[in-house]
Chain A
Amino acid sequence: AQSVSQHNHHVILSEAASLELGCNYSYGGTVNLFWYVQYPGQHLQLLLKYFSGDPLVKGIKGFEAEFIKSKFSFNLRKPSVQWSDTAEYFCAVIPPAGFQKLVFGTGTRLLVSP
């Protein structure tokens, strides 16, 4: 079945470490790509999005993601994490002809230790 895969379910890092979270999707054609974050006790918020153009997308709080079409990937990166980045991160896709519906990955729980 067509889907969105996040390979890391739990990640533990120390502050100042670099972060890369993987996201792969299995849809052909034109897709729209998103990373959402859910901080403890809060609702889902958009970190960044890719629709077209420059495949390197910059989002809020120093996050960026790179769309690699040939690899069907949209990995999230941050050069130096902070304790406040502790959250759950979701990759999501609007597939071709998806009528605006988001298809989410299973999420990655990130714990940053001070």
Chain B
Amino acid sequence: DTGVSQDPRHKITKRGQNVTFRCDPISEHNRLYWYRQTLGQGPEFLTYFQNEAQLEKSRLLSDRFSAERPKGSFSTLEIQRTEQGDSAMYLCASSRRTSGIVEQFFGPGTRLTVL
């Protein structure tokens, strides 16, 4: 399977703990995106990387959230001091570099439950 992969698929944690999610994009894609989806809502943009550079961050991304893409390949999203409101599906997407707009390919997501 050469699609976007995410790990873990499910994470249950207690409030106050730190969690880290990983996303592996499609290999030739240099753009990577994180979204968050809560029940009954569409995905909401969190942040966007082009290669290793983080080019945009949503105001949804509080200072407890940090994302990295150190070598321009896989990315990690860390949430520190988790809160119950962080419970959601965290989606990763990737796209190839082009001067225009292209399709974003989504991974299966990591479902986070904060108890």
Contact B42 A32, beta carbon cutoff 8 Å = no
What are the residues of chain B within 8 A of A36 when measuring CB–CB?
A: 106
Task: Bin the interface of chain B by size.
Answer: 20 to 34
Contact B44 A104, beta carbon cutoff 8 Å = yes
What are the residues of chain B within 8 A of A42 when measuring CB–CB?
A: 108
Q: Contact mask A71-114 → B, CB, 8 Å, 1/0?
A: 00000000000000000001010100001111111110000000
Task: Bin the interface of chain A by size.
Answer: 20 to 34
Residues of B within 8 A of A (CB): 3-4, 31, 33, 35, 40-45, 48, 55-56, 58, 91, 93, 95, 100-101, 103-109
Contact B56 A32, beta carbon cutoff 8 Å = no
Contact B108 A104, beta carbon cutoff 8 Å = no
Contact B42 A104, beta carbon cutoff 8 Å = yes
